[in-house]
Amino acid sequence: MGSYVNPDGEFDRDTNYIEDRILANPDAAGLRKDDAVGTKYGGWLDNDLSEDAVAWPVEANRYRLVAAPACPWANRTLIVRKLLGLEDVISVGLPGPTHDARSWTFDLDPDGKDPVLGTERLQENYFKRFPDYPRGITVPAVVDEPTGKVVTNDFKQITIDFSTQWKEFHKADAPDLFPKEHIEEMFPIMDRIFHTVNNGVYKAGFAGKQEAYEKAYNELWESLDWLEERLSTRRYLMGDNITEADIRLFTTLARFDAVYHGHFKANRQKLTEMPNLWGYARDLYQTPGFGETVDFQQIKDHYYIVHTDVNPTQVVPLGPDPKVWEESHERADLAS
């Protein structure tokens, strides 16, 4: 939704999101100058806003995170919400795995309506704020419960703000997902993962021409080989502790063998055939906050039923067996 295949056969994702932010101190918000990585970070970790964006105040029990477990971008927010202990201050709405061209729907809820928002489609919450909203109705989205209006669907910024702006409500042992000592290296790694892995599988799967597919495929596997090597000497991407970078990579790995290997033609190898990445993925899956957010059936239903251009029969495969995710990973020995 909101993306297309260009004349060269390349999949282009529409990354123009609602850039409003929920800030601990909205009155101190500044203007984001750029998105450069370095000592500035373009406001990602600070109080800066893009031009015309609105600052909303952090407030317990005011906002509802709408996040379909089937969606990898939404899955990130569900993981971060659990890791930081924000379940009691940010409610969650869970759309079902399938949707039509209009919107994600709350078809799994009683009467087909979100019990808090009272809407059947997430589209209604977008339209309450932007009656002529011209782009795709995407998840995750944060909705203002009192008004039912969407606040933001900027998935990258949502999890950053959960970490940096909602600290007042973090549980006592919440992890630091953006450790200062790793920021300089971490943002470029996350950027590479996004372009060649997270979005790379989509660029391969939706490519409209052979050349475009092969380019995306080669970039994907070049990065996966690089990650396989990186994870041979460290437990997590940045060392001994889980960071945002691991969460961003995990949601793609969780879907790899079930969907991307076949459905998106990313079939050089299965994840289970890459020892370090497979052990790393199991390590994360078995960490509280990760595995319980993954629903393999919903994941398969979403991709194989919704993507009729890729899978016109809408037949959903029965495998692979999710029990393999519970096997021992033996990654702890890599910690310092």
CA dist 180 and 92 (Å) reads 29
Q: What angle do CA 147, 82, 325 make, to 5 degrees?
A: 130
Q: Are residues 87 and 165 in the same domain?
A: yes
Q: Which whole-number Å values give the CA distances from 215 to 15, 267, 270, in the listed order?
A: 21, 14, 19
Same domain for 286 and 221?
yes
95 neighbors 66 (Cβ within 8 angstroms) = yes
| C-alpha distance across the termini of the chain, in Å | 43
Question: In this structure, what CATH number is given to the domain that contains residue 261?
Answer: 1.20.1050.10
Do residues 268 and 305 share a domain? Answer: yes
CA separation for the pair 265, 271 (Å, rounded): 13
Nearest one of 140, 138, 131 to 76, comparing CA atoms: 140
Residue 91 and residue 147 in one domain: yes
In a domain, 175, yes or no: no
Examine the domain organization and report whether 153 and 228 are in the same domain: no
161: CATH = 3.40.30.10
Q: How far apart are CA 28 and CA 89, in angstroms?
A: 23
Is 131 part of any domain?
A: yes
Range of the domain at 194: 180-334
Query: Quick one: which of 249, 288, 256 has its CA closest to 272?
Result: 256
Whether residue 327 lies inside any domain: the answer is yes
Of 111, 137, 169, which closes a domain?
Answer: 169
Give the pLDDT of residue 38: 41
Residues 144 and 198 in one domain: no
**Tens-binned pLDDT, residue by residue, of the chain (336 aa):** 456 799 999 999 998 999 999 999 999 998 887 654 444 454 678 889 988 999 999 999 999 999 999 999 999 999 999 999 999 999 999 999 999 988 999 999 999 999 999 999 999 999 999 999 999 999 999 999 999 999 999 999 999 999 999 999 999 999 999 999 999 999 999 999 999 999 999 999 999 999 999 999 999 999 999 999 999 999 999 999 999 999 999 999 999 999 999 999 999 999 999 999 999 999 999 999 999 999 999 999 999 999 999 999 999 999 999 999 999 999 999 987
- Does 184 lie in the same domain as 264? yes
117 domain residue, yes or no: yes
**One of 202, 260, 280, 303 is an active-site residue; which one?**
202
- The Cα 44–Cα 35 span in angstroms is 8
The DSSP secondary-structure symbol of 47 reads S
Residues 88 and 190 in one domain: no
Residues 148 and 63 in one domain: yes
Rg of the chain (C-alpha set): 19
What's the token pair of residue 191? Answer: 């950027």
Q: Is the pTM of this model over 0.85?
A: yes
Q: Which residues of 228-238 are buried (b: 16+ CB within 10 A; e: fewer)?
A: bebbeebbbbb
Residues 235 and 284 occupy one common structural domain: yes
DSSP labels, 196-243: IIITHHHHHHT-SSHHHHHHHHHHHHHHHHHHHHHTTS-SBTTBSS--
Per the domain annotation, does 103 fall within a domain? yes
Tell me how many domains the chain contains: 2
Query: Could you say which of 142, 169, 196 is where a domain stops?
Result: 169
**Residue 71, in any domain of the structure:** yes
Task: Assess if residue 174 is contained within a domain.
Answer: no
For the question of residue 213 being annotated catalytic, the response is no
Same domain, 18 and 149: yes
Does the residue 96 lie in any domain? yes
Of 143, 169, 195, the domain-final residue: 169
**Are residues 15 and 155 both part of a single domain?**
yes
Q: How far apart are CA 229 and CA 215, in angstroms?
A: 21
Per-residue model confidence (pLDDT) at position 44: 77
Exactly one of 17, 41, 63, 71 is catalytic; name it: 71
pLDDT value, residue 105: 97
Residue 202 annotated to the active site: yes
